[in-house]
Chains A and B, each alone.
Chain A
Amino acid sequence: MVARTIVITSGKGGVGKTTTTANLAVELAKIGKKVVAIDGDIGLRNLDVVMGLENRIVYTLVDVVEGACRLNQALVRDKRIENLYMLPAAQTRTKDAVTSEQMCEICSMLSDEFDFILIDSPAGIESGFRNAATPAQEALVVTTPEVSAVRDADRIIGLLESMEKRGISLVINRLSPKMVKRGDMLDISDVVEILSINLIGIVPEDEAVITSTNRGEPLTFQAVGPAARAFSNLAKRILGEKVPFDELEHMNNKGILGHIKKLFGV
């Protein structure tokens, strides 16, 4: 087994890298793939909280690098679903605690055991990003449809291209169809035109994301709601399935109008 190593990155903070990593990891594990999600954000870890595994951390990535424990001792297994693991970051250290070479070494050790290695990259373009991106063959660039986030995503794509990553795909997160309609938000075609990379996921704005993050239960466990559906589609597309981009249509068919439409088969 040789794992597909994917870095989830963005440049700008707060656009949904960790949420995407957690939900994608759960969804791929649900499909039957053996997945490990690595928190690459040393010093500002969050993946453990979003995945609801914060109470089960004994060792961290930095402990592995420093030889304080074995790699499998630091891996946290998710008891709710088979095949899902997380490698937490240290909260009390900084990005310099790990080097790119050490990250590559860790990923190559995990590669034989897993189908997917998902690396949650920190925001920024400094050493933390480089450590997270170096071991990955593929990258998911997450952006929100805001000018600042798109510009940062563009910067990150430029850096990933210079690192010769072959599969760079785009996830547009927190898209609000109402705001797009009002002209207050960039629409999908604007973002794709600027970034000129393969669009692989569209995640609509969904309040359930906040609830699930606070509960420590990734949305995809429940598989209801527009964002959960979007993450599910994203996982299928990563596995090569041809899934139409109907995330927003599904959202528009919600509510009373949606029910009426359904009733009349519109």
Chain B
Amino acid sequence: MGSHILLKGTREGIRCIFPEDKDIIGIEQMCDEVVRESGHILRDGTLIVDLQGRESDEGEIIAILKNLVWSSGAREVVWRSYDPHVRRILKSAGFCIENRPSYGSVGVRGLFIFKSLRSGQKVEHDSDVFILGNVNDGSEVWAGGNIWVWGKLQGLVHAGCHGGEDAHILVKVFESNQIRIGKLYSSIEKGCSYWGKPVLVYVQENTIIFKEIQ
């Protein structure tokens, strides 16, 4: 992964995506570089500081404030992180944090699909996806948010596909060999205790949990 901040224009504002890995060059230098080269874009706009899963501490957040947020002249600032520790720091400082950092475009409505997905068909959506049918073997669903399958799940589903591990998957009949949430995935053996049953899948402490629903 590169040691540079990536800028991405979204409907909500300019997203400054920080690399997750600790950088070779310092955070101050990275921020200065952005302000120097792209300060004119950030001025008077909405700045989204997207730390992804970066394990920032208080010192680093102060450095971002000094070298990016205040230097850029942004009118409004929103913070985004899916690291629980970082979210706690930001919350305690009273910063504006996106409630659902993983959910792709904010304000995007859920997508309802009133039929089964057949092999080879793929659905991609930035928010929640609700399927009132089966997800057959060989089909795929990629959702920025949660995925609900009101039928049999045999294909591949990826909830929180933009990296959000607070997304969940709810399935009426679970028969899939692989599940993905955020950056985690889990392989499932046929014949496990919840095979063929209603299941809720979510992430807890960096582990995918399968909970059979009675």
Contact = CB atoms under 8 A, between A and B. Distances in A.
Contacts, number: 31
A151 B119 contact: yes
Interface in B1-22: none
A155 B138 contact: yes
Nearest to B120: A155
Q: Which of A125, A151, A159, A161 has the most CB of B within 10 A?
A: A151
A157 to B, nearest CB: 6
A67 to B, nearest CB: 37
| Interface SS of B by simple majority | loop
A158 B121 contact: yes
A115 interface: no
A48 to B, nearest CB: 31
Interface string B129-163: 00000101110000000000000001000000000
| Interface SS of A by simple majority | helix
Contacts of B118: 154-155, 157-158, 161
A196 interface: yes
Contacts of A125: 120
Q: Which of A158, A161, A196 has the most CB of B within 10 A?
A: A158
Contacts of A155: 118-120, 138
A157 B134 CA distance: 14
Interface in B110-127: 116, 118-121
Contacts of A150: 137
A253 to B, nearest CB: 34
A78 interface: no
Interface of A: 125, 147, 150-152, 154-155, 157-159, 161, 194, 196
Interface of B: 116, 118-121, 134, 136-138, 154
22 contacts: A125-B120, A147-B137, A150-B137, A151-B119, A151-B136, A151-B137, A152-B119, A154-B118, A154-B138, A155-B118, A155-B119, A155-B120, A157-B118, A158-B118, A158-B120, A158-B121, A159-B120, A161-B118, A194-B136, A194-B137, A194-B154, A196-B116
